[in-house]
Amino acid sequence: MLARNARREGAARVTDATLVHMSEVLQWPDPEAHSWEANVLTLEPGAAAESFPWDSLAALVAQPVPPPTRLQGEAAEAVRAEAAAATASSAAHALDLKLRRAASLHLQAKATQALPAAERAALSRALSDRKKQLLLRAKAALGADATGEVGEALADELDAAFTAISARLGVAS
């Protein structure tokens, strides 16, 4: 996977850190937990086209797919809570929230609120674009370690960007 990705160029290439992370968190089919995953055909990497298991595929296609089991009550709540905890612990998510708070504070300032709607919208777009640039840079450079001092530094950089954008628009921040 990494070797094939290394042959890609430009935007088609994915960072190695992303591929490694995805391979770590990939959820392989589990027919015992999810009945609809019972009809899974696994192929070995690099298998020749001539060795494709057509008979196995035909047998799987002939079987009806059972309906998915729906989690109810406490089981569903547990899954939702686990997903929420994983999202909350994500360094990128935490940094995004920090940058959103910084942007929100600036956009709620009295000086900003006094602007005509078109200027507030332009300021909001410019600040949002800058926030996205900072977040992408942090994700690319730091991977999962975009918290703590790094997050504070990026929030400070967003504050500086807001000040510069405001000055260009003639807003006292």
Lowest-confidence pick of 58-62, 91-95, 147-151, 155-159: 147-151
- In the chain, alpha helices (H): 2-6, 16-25, 54-62, 73-89, 91-107, 110-113, 117-142, 148-169
**CB-hemisphere CA count at 13 Å for 8?**
12
Mean pLDDT of 106-130: 84
**Residue 66 backbone dihedrals phi, psi, to 5 degrees:** -70, 150
Lowest-confidence pick of 40-44, 86-90, 106-110, 113-117: 86-90
Taking CA atoms, 35 is separated from 9, 27, 40, 68, in Å, by: 39, 15, 11, 6
How wide is the angle at C-alpha 46 spanned by C-alphas 30 and 18, nearest 5°?
Answer: 65
Question: Is the per-residue pLDDT at 173 higher than 80?
Answer: no
Question: Is the per-residue pLDDT at 21 higher than 80?
Answer: yes
Question: Is the per-residue pLDDT at 143 higher than 60?
Answer: no
Interval 79-111: pLDDT, tens:
888 887 776 667 677 777 877 887 788 788 887
